[in-house]
Structure 1
Amino acid sequence: MKLRIFLLACTVVFLTSCGSSKKVVKNSPKSVVLEDEPINEVLPELPQLEPVVKRVKTNSNHTIAYIEKFAPIAVKKMHEHNIPASITLAQGVLESGSGRSPLAIRSNNHFGIKCHKGWNGKSVTHDDDEIGECFRKYKYPETSYEDHSKFLTSRKRYAKLFRLKSTDYRGWAYGLKKAGYATDKKYPNKLIGIIRMYNLDQYDRVPKNNKLVVDNSISTYSENNYQVQKGDTLYSIARKYNISVKLLKKTNGLNSNTISIGQQLRIN
């Protein structure tokens, strides 16, 4: 009788251990990120766009600030890697808690990218699916955005997504889930909800044209010229660069408030 009980207990232990095991991806491509010098990105100047908030009943200032800060980077990565800027921004908002998650604050990791095999950069431990998992650590948040793009472009399981139109954020949202990017069944709906709530799809239509050099904080522009975009007025441009309309007109030799799309204006 005791022998039967012992054998039964061993069987239960064996089945339990098998059922709780997880598959580990071992064929992740090698990736090395070095950040010896500060990053000075050359980013597209975003044209006059609609307000970020489109359907938000409660104003989320920290999310709006996050989007406005990182939208130029997301657009640049879209032009370089063909990933919709709206998807990148929505993932950044969701994965990093609009830049306020412990990983984003401690490690500038805005997309929750784990170390994976071949990672030779710095890392931190963080509790996720398991306790004390290894996550990539970046010196600059810009590197996190670049690594996010490389993560998607370097893995075959995401290849089908790059056949979609650059404005098909819905296809990307559902495709990411299907390819195994996230286990959350509601992940596509969460991304789509953020994109619609904050009107992020407008960034997918920003053309690859004007570029300005910006500093590491991505908050101030360093060029002296501005090219007039659709919807611009002298007032909106003056307000954007914190100068008066009178000074703007005087600097550019304007006798009226009339400006045209594509016109170059000196802003200081």
Structure 2
Amino acid sequence: MTPEEFISWLAPAAQAQCKPYNLPASVLISQGALESGWGRYKIGEYNIFGRKWGGWGNYIEKTTWECYNGEWQQITAKFQGYESLLQACDDWCILITQEPYYADAWAAWYNSHDVEQFVRALVPVYATDPDYADKVLSTIWANNLTQYD
């Protein structure tokens, strides 16, 4: 998919699922784009976030790279299998709003509605890539994704 096709494919589900949770669809779309290479590297049909298996439903085992203590390591991990794009987006929203690890990120968004503050609070918990926040924000700004918030 091209970036435009990916955004057209994901934006309606992102908006539908983010709205009830009061979350910015722009961040969901950006993370989906980065994690899946604009849809080229989905895990299964709908896991575009690289979401690890949460202990429910199906999972898919894949080899992946993680950065620990500044060093990249190849590991085999279980990733969540989703039945629909809406389910994948809903799981992202549930993760951010209900998982205690993301309480600071959720509070940053809830109190400020500032996308950059939200991303900078979210990323240290969400990803091991030390440049991930800048990548998420660059993708948002380059593609005008805040229009979907």
**Bin for the TM-score computed over the shorter chain:** 0.7 to 0.9
Aligned equivalent of 2:9, options 54, 58, 69: 69
Specify the alignment match of 1:235 in structure 2. none
How far apart are the structure 2 equivalents of 1:102 and 1:159? 27
Specify the alignment match of 2:40 in structure 1. 100
How far apart are the structure 2 equivalents of 1:74 and 1:102? 16
Specify the alignment match of 2:128 in structure 1. 183
How far apart are the structure 2 equivalents of 1:65 and 1:167? 27
Percent of residue pairs identical: 31
CA-atom RMSD in angstroms = 1.8
Question: Which structure features the higher share of strand residues?
Answer: 2
Specify the alignment match of 2:52 in structure 1. 114
Specify the alignment match of 1:24 in structure 2. none
Aligned equivalent of 1:145, options 64, 89, 99: 89
Aligned-partner SS, 1:92: helix
Q: Larger Rg: 1 or 2?
A: 1
How has the CA–CA distance of structure 1 residues 78 and 189 changed in structure 2, closer, same or farther, with 3 Å as cutoff?
Answer: same
Instruction: Assess if the C-alpha contact under 8 Å between 2:17 and 2:86 holds in 1.
Output: no
Q: Is 1:174 matched with 2:120?
A: yes
Residues 123-155 of structure 1: CA deviation (Å, up to 9, x unaligned): 111012453311111122221111111111121
Specify the alignment match of 2:69 in structure 1. none
Equivalent residue letter for 1:170: E
Specify the alignment match of 1:88 in structure 2. 28
How has the CA–CA distance of structure 1 residues 154 and 167 changed in structure 2, closer, same or farther, with 3 Å as cutoff?
Answer: closer
User: Within 5 A, what are the aligned runs for 1:1-268?
Assistant: 62-103=2-43, 106-116=44-54, 119-128=55-64, 129=66, 130-163=74-107, 164=109, 167-178=113-124, 180-204=125-149
How far apart are the structure 1 equivalents of 2:59 and 2:86? 16
Aligned-partner SS, 2:56: coil
4+ residue stretches of structure 1 with deviation over 6 A?
none
Corresponding residue pairs, total = 139
Residues 145-194 of structure 1: CA deviation (Å, up to 9, x unaligned): 1111111112112123333357411011111123x111111111101100
Specify the alignment match of 1:35 in structure 2. none
Equivalent residue letter for 1:121: G
Question: Which structure features the higher share of helix residues?
Answer: 2
Give the TM-score taking structure 2 as reference length. 0.84
How has the CA–CA distance of structure 1 residues 107 and 72 changed in structure 2, closer, same or farther, with 3 Å as cutoff?
Answer: closer
Bigger drift between 122-131 and 156-165 goes to 156-165
